[in-house]
């Protein structure tokens, strides 16, 4: 299944064909997160990477890498020394300018990851929903970190009438992805669900048992687990306690895609569910989630594109596609992002152990992806 979503690089390919992607994030306090997310997209195979950030974040991010296109378009109350000097009309004019500047780029970009290092800001909260509402239909959108916080916070005040909720949950949820860690998942559950989820300790026991059984079976069948092979499993029983809560939350949110990070990553759209059981770093340093969010924005776009290109080709031949549907292709993109992130973090951990930091993991993203890619296509080079 996974091979279908992977592109082939050919001599006639052009710059941007494998992804023109954007991160909306980066503020005075946080500049590492958007950089990690964006540079991971480049290392993972995209062609062009953009970051839309606040003015105070722009210079540090530009200094990290000349490869990332940085737009300091986001006005932030937290970065204003004397906000009282502005009239209400002047503030509104500045915020509308932020919306327009991002919107002018939106049509040229294939996916947006919203949240890494974005911070929690009154002004950004007031116009973030307008930015998302301006995205074209079927736009890949990933909400991570502070992006999830804005969704939850808006819903607490406006319920289903909020612009972020309408744009992400009601409109085109098939193309939208939430990437919560355990704590963020519990916040989402508390905001949108009734009752309590399965206790974390109980769920982790099921996970430990599943992982042990999976690798035991793999070794019995193959005698050895190859580095380049992806370790993920589709769970047919959606009542399985490892995936049940994530499936139910997805169903509640209009079958949006969810990548729940944890001991194993649970990935579902409420109709299908996958467990990624790749080994990962035993040290949980900051930034690994940002790497995952960036790769999710990339590979889910590849999944969407692969389906649409195949459908167009078959349509021109008056044939019907009987293989994977678009929703599954996007979900497989999320699975691939999880697999590559976990593999890269594990390889980095073997080398660095307690000194592991996010740049060590990023160093392995490219080689890990290439090992997986070549395993599918049996090529030594692209």
DSSP letters for 280-345: --SS--TTHHHHHHHHHHHHHHHHHHHHHHHHHHHHHTT----S--HHHHHHHHHHHHHHHHHHHH
Question: Is 186 annotated to bind ligand?
Answer: yes
pLDDT for 203 equals 87
In a domain, 267, yes or no: no
What Rg value do the Cα atoms of the chain yield, rounded? 20
How big is the CA angle at 58 (ends 57 and 61), to the nearest 5 degrees?
85
Would residue 33 count as lying in a domain?
Answer: yes
Alpha carbon distance 234, 225 (integer Å):
18
Low-confidence ranges of the chain (pLDDT < 70): 218-225, 313-322, 379-382
Question: Per the domain annotation, does 247 fall within a domain?
Answer: no
pLDDT tens by residue, 316-327: 554 455 578 999
Is 339 labeled as ligand-binding? no
Beta strand 257-260 with 48-54 is unpaired
The response to whether 265 counts as a known ligand-binding position is yes
Task: Say if residue 32 carries a ligand binding annotation.
Answer: no
Residue 37 annotated as lining a ligand binding site: no
137 is in an annotated binding site: no
Q: Residue 145: which residues within 8 A CB-CB, separation 6 or more?
A: 25, 33, 115, 116, 117, 118, 184, 289, 290, 293
Residue 98 lies in a domain: yes
Paired residues of 268 in beta bridges: 258, 273
DSSP code at position 93: H
Please indicate if the annotation marks 277 as binding a ligand.
no
Strand order of the β-sheet with 257-260 is 69-74, 48-54, 20-24, 111-114, 140-143, 176-178, 257-260, 265-268, 273-276, 232-234
Has residue 162 been placed in a domain?
Answer: yes
Q: Is residue 168 within 8 Å of 176, Cβ to Cβ? A: yes
Q: Is residue 83 part of a domain?
A: yes
pLDDT at 311 (0 to 100): 78
Q: Which residue in 160, 137, 104, 153 sits closest to 304, CA to CA?
A: 137
Give the pLDDT score at 277. Answer: 95
174 is a domain residue:
yes
Q: Is 121 within any annotated ligand binding site?
A: no
- Euclidean distance between CA atoms 48 and 16, whole angstroms: 6
Please tell me the predicted confidence (pLDDT) of residue 224.
Answer: 60
Q: What is the rounded distance in angstroms from the CA atom of residue 53 to the CA atom of residue 42?
A: 18
- Residue 79 annotated as part of some ligand binding site: no
45 a known binding residue?
no
Annotated binding residue at 280? yes
Q: How far apart are CA 211 and CA 216, in angstroms?
A: 9
- In eight-state DSSP terms, residue 136 is P
- The range of the structural domain enclosing residue 313 comes to 18-194+276-377
- Coil, strand or helix: which one is 153? helix
**162 assigned binding-site residue:** no
Handedness of CA 294, 258, 110, 326 (dihedral sign): positive
Give me the CATH number covering residue 368. 3.40.1190.20
117 appears as a binding residue in the annotation: yes
Task: Quote the pLDDT of residue 382.
Answer: 41
Determine if residue 270 is labeled as part of a ligand binding site.
no
Number of structural domains found in the chain: 1
What is the Cα–Cα distance from 277 to 289, expressed in whole angstroms? 16
Q: Which helix (H) or strand (E) holds 251?
A: helix 244-252
Query: Are the C-beta atoms of 36 and 51 separated by less than 8 Å?
Result: no
The answer to the question of whether 282 is labelled as a binding residue is yes
Total-model pTM: 0.95
What distance in Å separates the CA atoms of residue 188 and residue 198, rounded to the nearest whole number? 14
Is 201 among the annotated ligand-binding positions?
no
195 is in an annotated binding site: no
Does 25 count as an annotated binding residue? no
CB of 18 closer than 8 Å to CB of 7: yes
β-strand 20-24 against 265-268: which pairing, if any?
unpaired
The reported pLDDT for the residue numbered 11 is: 83
182 known member of a binding site: yes
Distance CA 274, CA 256 (A): 14
d(CA 157, CA 49): 34
116 part of a folded domain: yes
């Amino acid at each position: 299944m996974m091979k279908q979503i992977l592109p082939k690089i050919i001599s006639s390919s052009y710059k941007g064909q494998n992804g023109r992607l954007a991160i909306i994030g980066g503020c005075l306090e946080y500049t590492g997160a958007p950089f990690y997310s964006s540079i991971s997209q480049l290392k993972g195979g995209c062609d062009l990477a953009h970051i839309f950030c606040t003015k105070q974040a722009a210079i540090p991010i530009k200094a990290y890498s000349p490869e990332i296109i940085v737009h300091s378009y986001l006005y932030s109350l937290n970065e204003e020394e004397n906000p009282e000097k502005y009239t209400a009309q002047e503030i509104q004019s500045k915020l509308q300018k932020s919306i327009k500047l991002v919107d002018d780029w939106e049509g040229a970009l294939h996916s947006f990851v919203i949240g890494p290092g974005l911070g929690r800001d009154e002004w950004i909260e007031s116009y973030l929903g307008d930015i998302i509402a301006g995205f074209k239909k079927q736009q890949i959108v990933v909400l991570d970190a502070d992006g999830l916080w804005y969704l939850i916070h808006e819903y607490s005040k406006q319920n289903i009438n909020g612009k972020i909720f309408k744009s992400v949950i009601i409109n085109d949820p098939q193309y939208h992805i939430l990437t919560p860690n355990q704590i963020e998942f519990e916040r989402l559950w508390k905001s949108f669900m009734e009752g309590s989820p399965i206790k974390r300790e109980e769920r982790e026991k099921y996970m430990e048992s599943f992982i042990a059984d999976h690798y035991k079976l793999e070794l019995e069948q193959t005698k050895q687990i190859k580095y380049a092979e992806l370790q993920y499993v589709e769970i047919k029983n959606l009542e399985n306690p490892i995936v049940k809560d994530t499936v139910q939350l997805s169903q509640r949110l209009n079958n949006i895609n969810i990548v729940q990070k944890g001991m194993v990553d649970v990935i579902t759209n409420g109709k299908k569910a996958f467990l990624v059981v790749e080994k990962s770093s035993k040290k949980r340093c900051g930034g690994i989630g940002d790497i995952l969010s960036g790769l999710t924005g990339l590979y889910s776009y590849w999944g969407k594109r692969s389906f649409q290109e195949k459908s167009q080709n078959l349509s021109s031949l008056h044939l019907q596609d009987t293989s994977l549907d678009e929703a599954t292709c996007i979900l497989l993109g999320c699975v691939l992002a999880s697999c590559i992130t976990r593999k890269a973090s594990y390889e980095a951990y073997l080398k660095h152990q307690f000194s592991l930091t996010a740049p060590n993991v990023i160093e392995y993203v490219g080689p890990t992806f290439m090992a997986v890619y070549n395993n599918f296509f049996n090529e030594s080079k692209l």
